Structures are given as structure tokens and as C-alpha cells.
Structure 1
């Protein structure tokens, strides 16, 4: 018990160890935490309802090593420093664990934006593409040709079930996001949100892998 308060109260089920002039409170505390004396008498303990009891006579027979006070204080200082170091490592591990849990979603989002691999410098800038699209919209409308049949799935409303059905219709178990998008008649963000959900489910229907040959992220269909 530290000297934080002038008085402390304990009940009859506790044993109070009073350090003398040759032993410090911190040294006694760490010796009791180590538990060597308790391990030596565990086979002699009695109790009921799962609660073990140690008698006062057993506590009085505890033996403690008593080095010089200066040595006790140095050992306590080093032990306190090691515990502080352990706490710092535990905090860093918890932070790293949170970052690891967020990594799949962040990596997939970067893959959707094309940030995982270098982009082709010959691609048309987005500004020029936008201007070209605006110019095309301002031109007189041309009567559209009769659409050719394709393999896209006709969907009235996008949902997890419709995306799963489209994945089942793909010819290969491995496919890219663009290949899935060509199969599903929907916008980019809506499809991306559902793919995220499928990847993060407790029993995911998809797995995410990196294709080193194509330098792109791919998905693998998980068979139920």
C-alpha cells in the first residue's frame, strides 16, 4: 500500500505485510507478485466454493530475500522501466492490429482508383476526356442502332444477391473488377460498395489477390 492516504481499511480475510527498516514497500510488493511463497504452499491450502484460503501462520513463515536497500531500489527502478516498456509495446501492437484490420479495405480502394501500379503515361487526361464527352453530348442525337445481345445481366435494382449471381455467371473463378463491372449494369461506386461487403463478410464470397503478371488486383470466387 503506497503512502497516498494516511489510513487504509482491510477486512479479516486479508493479510497485511508490514515492511521493516531493511525492506522497502516496492521490493516486498514485487516479491509477493512473483508468487514463489504462494507456489510453495498451494498444496497445503484449504477452502470452499472454489475459494482457497491461506492462514496467517503460513504467511508468517514466508521467506524473502533481503538485499541492501540501495540494491532493492535499483531493482525496483529497472522493473518499473521494463513494465513501462512492455506497456508501450502493447499499445503499439494494438495500434498496428487496428491498421492491419483496415488494410484490406484500404488496399482494395486504392486498387479501384488505380493507385497500386504505375499508370500508362499515354492514357488520355481526364480533362480532355471530359471535354470530348461534352462535345459529343452537344452534337445532334443519332438514332441508336438496335442493341446487340450481350452477356450483361438485366437488373432492375443492384443488390448483394444480384452481384453474386453475376459473379456465378462469369466464365472463370478469377476475374478483375472491370470484368465484373462489364457483367453488371450499374455504376462504379455502388458495385464497389457491394464488393467491399462481400470481401469483409464473416464467410466471404470473394478473396482478393494480386496478379504479378498483369500487375493488378484480382478476385477469386469462393465456392460455397
Structure 2
């Protein structure tokens, strides 16, 4: 676009009473040139926007190819006594489920459970249960992390998981549903017969 066309001002329409055809012709020529200049300016703006959109996309493609995930591990440490604030096994199970869901939402890689009690680990203070708070919290979090279709194989019926049915599913990326397809799916190999194995994976 030429510099002359870029600085063309909008023409002033002549008075209707004027009958001079040359004046009207000049007005129409000026109006046509002004419209062409405005159209060229709009096209230049569109081309500039397209170029600016293409450049970040190519750079984002190259950066996405080089990024391979986080170079660090995000861990949190929780005291085992956090379950002692709950009054019943149902509430303790629900509390452990909320901890697991929060850790999943914030992309926590590792949960460290430490025993901060001065009491003996085998004490039966929690509803006279013969297991410790740290053991219960660890088992509940392990149960939550396991995909639903593998829990029967890894976790038999036990007192620690008495109210595991109250736990809400994490819906984590590795918890693939039966109607979902992904590059891989977690499974477990089970002995079927001597010298034979079977792969259990839904």
C-alpha cells in the first residue's frame, strides 16, 4: 500500500443542489480511492495478525516436543495423628479420601506419613482397634491409588478397609475406565495353572 493511499481523507459529499458533473466525478473518484485505501489497510492488518498467530504456534510446537515432564518430585508430609481428630472409622475413612483427592488435584507425587505420637503404635486408643493411625491412613491411601478393577486382587477383605465403600473415586489419569482407550493400562499377572500365567487387565 502506497503512502499516498494511506493518508487519503474521507471525501466531503457535495451539496445536492450543485449540478456540476465534474464536481460529482471528483467526489466519486475520491470516495473510490478512500474505500480502496481503507480496504488495503484492513487486509494488511489481517495479514499481520495471521503472521503473529503463526509464529507462537510454531514455537509452542518446538517447546512441547522438548518438554518431557517435571524435573522434580512434589511431596507432602502428613502426621498420622491427623486421623485422631475423627471420632469414628467412617469419618477417618472419609478424611483419608479427602486427603487423597486433594493430593490428586494438586499433582502431588508422593505422600509421606510420619508418626508424631508419643504413644505406642500398638495402643488401642482409636475405638479400641488393634491397628495404628498411620497404618490405617497408609492402607486407605494405597487403596485409593489403586485402579478400581485391580483392587480385588491387591486388597482382600480386611478391617482397615471396612468402610472403603465411602471413598469417592480419584478419577486419576491411570484409572482408565472400561470404555476408555489409552496407550497402556495397568494390570496384574495371576497364576492360572502350573507353568501358565494369565494377565488380568480390564
TM-score, normalized by length of structure 2? 0.25
TM-score, normalized by length of structure 1? 0.23
